[in-house]
Structure 1
Amino acid sequence: MVRSNQTSMVTEFFFSGLPELEDGNLLFFIPLLVIYIFIIIGNLIVFFAVRIDTHLHNPMYNFISIFSFLEIWYTTATIPKMLSNLVSKKRTISITGCLLQMYFFHSLGNSEGILLTTMAIDRYVAICNPLRYPTIMTPRLCTQLSIGSCIFGFLLLLPEIVWISTLPFCGPNQIHQIFCDFEPVLCLACTDTSMILIEDVIHAIAIIFSVLIIALSYIRIITVILRIPSAEGRQKAFSTCASHLGVFLMFYGSVSLMYLRFSATFPPILDTIIALMFAVLAPFFNPIIYSLRNKDMKIAIKKLLCLQKVFYASAS
């Protein structure tokens, strides 16, 4: 375990939220590795299936493909380091590495949150104003919204990370979490940490604002769907929204448990479980939800797999 004296500056942090190094760590390492590989492959399949199948070249599936692409990097920001820590005796990360991990993890998460909000608005326009949908959600606007979600998500956290990088850290250097996060890192700063409350309020406002927009959109969507006279029409409308609603509940459910608790403290094991839900389990279920709950996506994935078989057959 690496520690620093109060009089010396910390150059790296030690993760104390992981189980102690034992042979039994393989019980954690192997499932996490399998989940990570599944997340990468699953989201790549969804991404390329949308890009290759021309029938899916519309705003809804474009947003899904961008979301899947972000999920790959979102999990890559934390899981490889978790895997490394599970098999390494030295579970440390430099301050620069920690700041970069926080920046990319939360910037990608913010981009996903903004994109989910955009997807909810897209479904609202498609179902509540179907006649105006083609003129409102043009390809140009769709591209602007996708790029804007990513740019805004990355710019939003930049001042915060720059501010944290100026703080002095002089020990102890134990991060009581399985990855670098704002509160555990700010608690280690040897200066006034009252800014933690302001950070919590800013994060909470952003989360609540996004949840309200999405929730209001889906309440209106469900109200309109229930007025559709035919059962077949209602089922079709519900099926196009079910996957989005499922991903929304998974994403913001875990985010709320993680960041809408303010001064409430949980036992370390519960903190770790919530972090795993937020950083690992929610991304794990997203490609499953999008592929199993969507008929068009299933067809596109089958086409993609068939193309791969033809390619390998011709190559051999």
Structure 2
Amino acid sequence: MEIANSTVVKEFIFLGLTQSRNTQLLVFVLILIFYLIILPGNFLIILTIRLDPGLSAPLYFFLGNLAFIDVSYAFIVAPRMLADFLSEKKVISYKGCITQLFFLHFVGGGEGLLLVVMAFDRYIAICRPLHYSAVMNPRACHTFLLALWLGGFVHSIIQVALILHLPFCGPNQLDNFFCDVPQVIKLACTDTFVVELLMVFNSGLLILLCFLGLLSSYAVIFCHVRGSSSEGKNKALSTCTTHVIIILIMFGPAIFIYTRPFRALPVDKVVSFFHTVILPLWNPVIYTLRNQEVKCAMRRLLRWHVVC
């Protein structure tokens, strides 16, 4: 895929999260502390699910992949942001910007589809329990995993293809701390109305439909569970409530960013900061804190290593 011939911008300059040097240093320290605490926790979740034979159910298979995706997502923006906090000039090359944008939407799109798969898994387990082992077999789980990565790739490559055909002749200052569609498109030296419309359709409408579909599916599950007298009622409610919390955490900021016209608002940077840096790492942690089986497995794993 060739870059448009009229593109003369070779690099972009980030204006950053804030212009205050003291605030930058404070945010740098807070992010560093947060990552040193939460990031190992996500790796521990992945390791626990991989090593504990009691966590072989599809639910935990998908949770392990959620942790992996969120860790990957955290490495796309945060390391560069931390390095820029210590630099006077925050510069990224044109190709580097496109690469960051691609992986941001590739991993983000995959995570959104993973949450859809997890909702389907809970629906089958709770509403169609007799068919669960047949539907959610290992082969089906790996097929779902392949499909969500493929879906994330297609979603991201559409974004990149639309941007690569835009001419960039200056200015080259991005009013953000990372490369994302709304800010990059605004720097194109041509009318971008059609491209913005396509971007909103590709990202915004897709996000909104997934969000509403997920909420509807969990509403059906909640209605089914509340009318049930089974022993696992409380466990099912707890699991589904956790999934809904994660859905709100992920889709709430994404809907705010991508389902409206690309016009800058004062809170955009704050929402983007939490959406790309802080919140992703919390998703697996929130689930783990509400899941007794995973917590017990993590204790067993830590105890076994301590004894050894």
TM-score exceeds 0.5? yes
Cα separation, 1, equivalents of 2:162 and 2:203: 16
CA contact under 8 A between 1:13 and 1:92: conserved in structure 2?
yes
Question: Gaps (5+ residues) in structure 1?
Answer: 1-6, 312-316
Q: Does the alignment pair 1:205 with 2:202?
A: no
Q: Which amino acid aligns with 2:303?
A: C
Matches within 5 A, 1:77-226: 77-194=76-193, 195-226=195-226
CA contact under 8 A between 1:111 and 1:149: conserved in structure 2?
yes
Aligned match of 2:286:
289
Q: Which amino acid aligns with 1:30?
A: V
Cα separation, 1, equivalents of 2:104 and 2:7: 29
| TM-score (normalizing by structure 1) | 0.90
Q: Please state how far the C-alpha of 1:163 moved relative to its aligned partner.
A: 3.3
Q: Which amino acid aligns with 1:209?
A: L
Q: Does the alignment pair 1:251 with 2:250?
A: yes
Cα separation, 2, equivalents of 1:118 and 1:52: 23
Q: Which deviates more, 116-125 or 192-201?
A: 192-201
Q: Please state how far the C-alpha of 1:262 moved relative to its aligned partner.
A: 2.4
Q: Please state how far the C-alpha of 1:234 moved relative to its aligned partner.
A: 2.3
* 4+ residue runs over 4 A deviation: none
Q: Which amino acid aligns with 1:259?
A: Y
Residue from 303, 306, 309 that aligns with 2:303: 306
Q: Does the alignment pair 1:279 with 2:283?
A: no
Cα separation, 2, equivalents of 1:182 and 1:247: 24
| TM-score (normalizing by structure 2) | 0.92
Aligned match of 1:61:
60
- Deviation per CA, 1:16-39, whole angstroms, max 9, x where unpaired? 132226255221101111223334
Q: Please state how far the C-alpha of 1:8 moved relative to its aligned partner.
A: 8.8
Q: Please state how far the C-alpha of 1:297 moved relative to its aligned partner.
A: 0.8
Q: Please state how far the C-alpha of 1:155 moved relative to its aligned partner.
A: 2.6
CA contact under 8 A between 1:242 and 1:293: conserved in structure 2?
no
The SS at the match of 2:130 is coil
- Deviation per CA, 1:128-152, whole angstroms, max 9, x where unpaired? 0011111111111011101221122
Q: Which amino acid aligns with 1:144?
A: T
Distance 1:308 1:169, change over 3 A: farther
Identity fraction in percent: 36
- Deviation per CA, 1:270-297, whole angstroms, max 9, x where unpaired? 1111101211222132132122100001
Cα separation, 2, equivalents of 1:211 and 1:24: 34
Q: CA RMSD in A?
A: 1.8
The SS at the match of 2:8 is coil
- Deviation per CA, 1:184-230, whole angstroms, max 9, x where unpaired? 00111112212112211221221122112211210110001110136
Q: Which deviates more, 200-209 or 81-90?
A: 200-209
Distance 1:93 1:263, change over 3 A: closer
Aligned match of 1:11:
10
The SS at the match of 1:251 is helix
Q: Please state how far the C-alpha of 1:156 moved relative to its aligned partner.
A: 2.4
The SS at the match of 1:78 is helix
CA contact under 8 A between 2:166 and 2:188: conserved in structure 1?
yes
Q: Please state how far the C-alpha of 1:263 moved relative to its aligned partner.
A: 5.0
Q: Please state how far the C-alpha of 1:9 moved relative to its aligned partner.
A: 2.1
Q: Which amino acid aligns with 1:288?
A: V
Aligned match of 1:52:
51
Distance 1:213 1:285, change over 3 A: same
Q: Please state how far the C-alpha of 1:174 moved relative to its aligned partner.
A: 0.9
Distance 1:8 1:110, change over 3 A: closer
Q: Which deviates more, 257-266 or 186-195?
A: 257-266
Q: Which amino acid aligns with 2:228?
A: I
* Aligned residue-pair number: 302
Q: Which amino acid aligns with 2:286?
A: I
Cα separation, 2, equivalents of 1:84 and 1:123: 41
Cα separation, 2, equivalents of 1:24 and 1:191: 36
- Deviation per CA, 1:60-81, whole angstroms, max 9, x where unpaired? 1100101110111111000011
Q: Which deviates more, 241-250 or 16-25?
A: 16-25
CA contact under 8 A between 2:48 and 2:298: conserved in structure 1?
yes
Cα separation, 2, equivalents of 1:8 and 1:159: 19
Q: Please state how far the C-alpha of 1:243 moved relative to its aligned partner.
A: 2.0
